[in-house]
């Protein structure tokens, strides 16, 4: 957890060596800023060894998942690689140097109705197997547009995690598009629904890749799961 202290401060001596004056904030190091593309896996053989810690990110196409990943990792184009044609049916792994066993895993944005049926079946089996057996998986982040939360696929992904006994965290993103009051109402409504559907294993927060609202909180959740 070394990189996730909420606030680090530096005590400076006061003038003439007198009492220390006001604490000066220091930049909080963000281990996720070192995240880099590692590989894209289309089947089990292509996955990295299953001995570490990983957090998976899911979200409907256009929900804001790439922007959320980029904001968490303080990078502009990290998640773009997940969107290149041909990668839409793969698990994209980012590692976090200097560690070699901590990963962020970008699950494809869903909305793949146009995918041929056999590929869809392959993908469904791959996802089922990944969620069912991947020991390294420590938690799931589900990114949802705050204006359209908890669609069928979101519930399906949350169900996968909860069934496995894994914690999940929902990001209600694009919160900057709503007033403060509307954000609060949406958060309450989603929290209530999650609690009745999944108990207390799913947490939720408001988020914005645009204004950076909630980025620190989300980073703390991911950092805790990865034991960074």
- Rounded to whole angstroms, the Cα distance separating 171 from 149 reads 10
Pick the closest to residue 209 from 176, 180, 169 (CA basis): 176
Any contact of residue 183 with ligand GDP (CB under 6 A)? no
Alpha-carbon dihedral sign for residues 95, 99, 100, 102: negative
Distance of closest approach, residue 160 Cβ to ligand GDP, in angstroms: 18
Any contact of residue 210 with ligand GDP (CB under 6 A)? yes
Q: Select the span of 22-30, 62-70, 115-123, 152-160 touching ligand GDP (CB under 6 A).
A: 62-70
Any contact of residue 63 with ligand GDP (CB under 6 A)? yes
Using CB under 6 A, pick the residue from 38, 67, 74, 122 that binds ligand GDP: 67
Using CB under 6 A, pick the residue from 101, 176, 193, 217 that binds ligand GDP: 176
Distance of closest approach, residue 212 Cβ to ligand GDP, in angstroms: 9
Binding mask 124-153 for ligand GDP (x = CB under 6 A): ------------------------------
Report the DSSP beta bridge partners of residue 102: 53
- Tokens representing residue 213 in the block: 């609202």
Neighbours of 167 (CB within 10 A): 18
Distance of closest approach, residue 63 Cβ to ligand GDP, in angstroms: 4
Using CB under 6 A, pick the residue from 43, 62, 124, 163 that binds ligand GDP: 62
Any contact of residue 217 with ligand GDP (CB under 6 A)? no
The answer for residues whose C-beta is within 8 angstroms of residue 78's C-beta and 6 or more apart is 35, 36, 37, 69, 70, 94
Any contact of residue 174 with ligand GDP (CB under 6 A)? yes
Residues that bind ligand GDP (CB under 6 A): 59, 61-67, 109, 173-174, 176-177, 208-210
């Amino acid at each position: 957890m070394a990189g996730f202290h909420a606030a680090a401060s530096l005590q400076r001596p006061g003038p003439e060596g007198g009492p220390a004056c006001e604490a000066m904030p220091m930049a909080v190091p963000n281990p996720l800023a070192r995240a880099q593309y590692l590989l894209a896996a289309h089947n089990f053989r292509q996955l990295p060894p299953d001995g570490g810690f990983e957090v998976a990110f899911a979200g409907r196409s256009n929900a804001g998942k790439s922007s959320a990943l980029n904001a968490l990792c303080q990078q502009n184009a990290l998640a773009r690689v997940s969107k290149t044609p041909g990668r839409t049916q793969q698990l994209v792994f980012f590692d976090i140097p200097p560690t070699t066993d901590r990963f962020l895993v970008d699950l494809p944005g869903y909305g793949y109705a146009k995918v041929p049926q056999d590929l869809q079946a392959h993908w469904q089996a791959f996802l089922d197997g990944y969620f069912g057996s991947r020991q390294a998986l420590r938690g799931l982040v589900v990114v949802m547009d705050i204006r359209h939360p908890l669609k069928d696929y979101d519930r399906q992904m949350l169900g996968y995690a909860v069934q496995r006994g894994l914690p999940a965290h929902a990001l209600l993103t694009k919160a900057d598009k709503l007033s403060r009051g509307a954000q609060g109402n949406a958060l309450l409504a989603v929290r209530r629904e999650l609690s009745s559907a999944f108990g207390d294993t799913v947490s939720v927060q408001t988020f914005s890749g645009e204004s950076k609202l909630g980025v620190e909180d989300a980073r703390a959740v991911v950092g805790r799961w990865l034991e960074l």
